[in-house]
Chain A
């Protein structure tokens, strides 16, 4: 089974600022990390490889420094890594990014399964996974909380919903995006980390993956950011409950029930 895991390098902070001119996230000078949801995608890929054999290839599109998160994924157990990096990719929105990743997957010779984290914590769009499926014409399942079973032809996924879950069977090849409930990502070993440092990571350009340059970068991105603004501050009103422990507990329970929280 060939499993491709698409990952992204994101700013490490929750306080990422927005450039007022470009309306884009300011990434310069901010520590970058592997998108937290993607660690679960990598782990699921490694777990499936351990069950069914094959290889896990991690793929990322970004500047040269994004190589760091690819090495991290390799130290977590992926077999090899590829970076899509070129000036022409710059400014790609989720549609152009998923197009480029789909091109890279075709260039790889296809895959049995593509796994993405449910979303990146910088853009929060959750669109790249479904975009890859659309570009490849493959079935997809988002918010997967469990891979119940898999064969070389099919995969049964449990999808998380706000009010429960459903179970769906996908014909492979397919794309899934995963939530944190799906597994507990392993902590990389020193041996894995040292091996990942030595690994050569190929850098693919648009030409190498056969991408139409009109479909990548700013020109290939239909998204136009018209305005960005921070969300309104949350209501932090608080109330202190006083009295004996029994009275406090009863009052708290009443409050929670009134708000339908329990």
Chain B
């Protein structure tokens, strides 16, 4: 992550196609084009893991089945706790085989159709359910040195609770942090940057539909709110020059060409 920040390498989130896609071939092609475009730009591709509990194909199998190439430090895989143990290890082994080192380890949203890791599956004790903390510990112990492990930080959660959770994640092996979407200077993010020893990337919300963030931030954002993602991205760079940027919901047709000159020191 430090290298990404120093070299102005954006993290660009791409969602793999959903399992129930009725136009899978087109979705696969669109995915491959986005993947290649980010790769060619020198940015880091971030592949989600059943985001929002929607059943989707795994990033590692997309890479394998579509024959996509992996360049060092340019692919990050999200990994959550909604897997069978066998599936989890398959994904981790695939990452190693494909040369993927960066993992964003999260608890995840899950759904009725997704299995959930049990504490006993990964040798966790004293907990009722597996969270990102136990998953981090498992990966670190089972695959020592194989991965750079990142974790999420939510500045909209109760502050004490979130910082205590971050401490547990760091103790479990976290090496970098990516926040929930930030749209302006945020006091909790300021505190994070002042106290956290790890490199931090801010999630930049690239959709114009800011109201979709209402649930995440915990207050109602009117649907009529005018929001300029590119200007906000510039603002975030000016406000937090020490941070990396994780771009979610980036419009590849309308926005991608605009981000090239947004990261100015």
Chain A contacts to B: CB under 8 angstroms: 33, 39, 184-191, 193-194, 197
Contact = CB atoms under 8 A, between A and B. Distances in A.
B122 interface: no
B160 interface: no
Given A185-B113, A190-B57, A193-B24, 16 more contacts: A33-B20, A39-B113, A186-B87, A187-B19, A187-B55, A187-B113, A189-B61, A190-B58, A190-B61, A190-B62, A191-B61, A191-B65, A193-B19, A193-B57, A194-B65, A197-B24
A116 B48 CA distance: 34
Given A190-B61, A190-B62, A184 B115 contact: yes
B114 interface: yes
A207 B61 CA distance: 42
Contact of A190 (B20, B65, B113, B114): B65
B93 interface: no
B84 interface: yes
Contacts of B58: 189-190
Nearest to A187: B55
Nearest to B61: A190
Residue of A33, A189, A191, A194 with most chain B CB atoms under a 10 A cut-off? A189
A191 B60 CA distance: 12
Residue of A190, A191, A193, A197 with most chain B CB atoms under a 10 A cut-off? A190
Interface string B51-81: 0000101100110010000000000000000
B111 to A, nearest CB: 10
A174 B109 CA distance: 39
Contacts of B113: 39, 185, 187
A75 to B, nearest CB: 9
A140 B61 CA distance: 39
Contacts of B19: 187-188, 193
Contacts of B24: 193-194, 197
Nearest to A68: B22
A188 B16 CA distance: 14
Nearest to B84: A184
Contacts of B61: 189-191
7 contacts: A185-B113, A186-B87, A187-B19, A187-B114, A191-B65, A193-B57, A194-B24
A183 to B, nearest CB: 10
Nearest to A189: B61
A49 to B, nearest CB: 17
A133 B93 CA distance: 44
A39 B114 CA distance: 12
Nearest to B66: A190
Interface string B36-57: 0000000000000000000101
B199 to A, nearest CB: 32
Contacts of A184: 84, 115
A164 B61 CA distance: 41
A185 B19 CA distance: 14
B175 to A, nearest CB: 28
Interface string B108-119: 000001110000
Nearest to A197: B24
A69 to B, nearest CB: 11
A186 B115 CA distance: 8
A146 to B, nearest CB: 17
Contacts of A188: 19
Nearest to A188: B19
Interface in B65-109: 65, 84, 87
Contacts of A190: 57-58, 61-62, 65
Contacts of B87: 186-187
Nearest to A34: B20
A33 B24 CA distance: 16
The 6 nearest A-B residue pairs measured at CB: A184-B115, A190-B57, A190-B61, A190-B65, A191-B65, A189-B61
A197 to B, nearest CB: 7
Interface in B1-39: 19-20, 24
Residue of B19, B58, B62, B87 with most chain A CB atoms under a 10 A cut-off? B19
Contacts of A193: 19, 24, 57
